[in-house]
Amino acid sequence: MYDRILLNGDGVSQRKKKMSTLESLWQRGKKFLGVNYPIIAGAMTWISDSHFVSAVSNEGAFGCLAAGNIEPPLLDEEIKRTQALTQKPFAVNLITIAPYYREHLRVAINNRVPFIVFAGSYPRHPEIKMAKESGAKVLSFASTEAVAKRLIYTGIDALILEGSEAGGHVGHVSLGILLQQILFKIDEVPIFVAGGIATGSFMTHLLLMGAAGIQLGTFFVLTDECGAHPKFKEAFIRAKARDAVATPQIGSELKVVSVRALRNKGSEQFKELQIELVQKRKKGEISHGDAQYEVEKFWMGALRHAVQEGDIEFGSLMAGQSVGLVNQIRPLRDALSNLINDAETELARIQEKLFPE
Question: Reading across the β-sheet that carries 259-262, which strands appear in turn?
Answer: 168-169, 259-262, 244-246
What are the DSSP calls for 144-168, one per residue?
Answer: SHHHHHHHHHTT-SEEEEE-TTSSE
38 vs 120: CA distance, rounded Å: 22
Domain ranges, ordered by start, for the chain: 22-229+326-348, 239-321
Of 40, 37, 32, the C-alpha closest to 22 is: 37
Q: State the DSSP code for 304.
A: H
pLDDT of 292 reads 76
Domain 22-229+326-348 = CATH 3.20.20.70: yes
Low-confidence ranges of the chain (pLDDT < 50): 1-8, 11-16
pLDDT of 19 reads 57
Quote helix, strand, coil % in the chain, to nearest 5: 45, 15, 35
Q: What are phi and psi of 351, to 5 degrees?
A: -65, -35
276 vs 291: CA distance, rounded Å: 10
Asked whether the whole model's pTM tops 0.85, one would answer: yes
pLDDT of 355 reads 86
CB neighbour class for 294 (10 Å; exposed up to 12, middle 13-18, buried from 19)? middle
Quick: pLDDT tens for 264-274.
Answer: 998 888 888 88
Residue type, 52: F
Cβ neighbours for 269, distance < 8 A, ≥ 6 positions apart: 298, 302, 314
Quick: pLDDT tens for 34-88.
Answer: 999 999 999 999 999 999 999 999 999 999 999 988 999 999 999 999 999 999 9
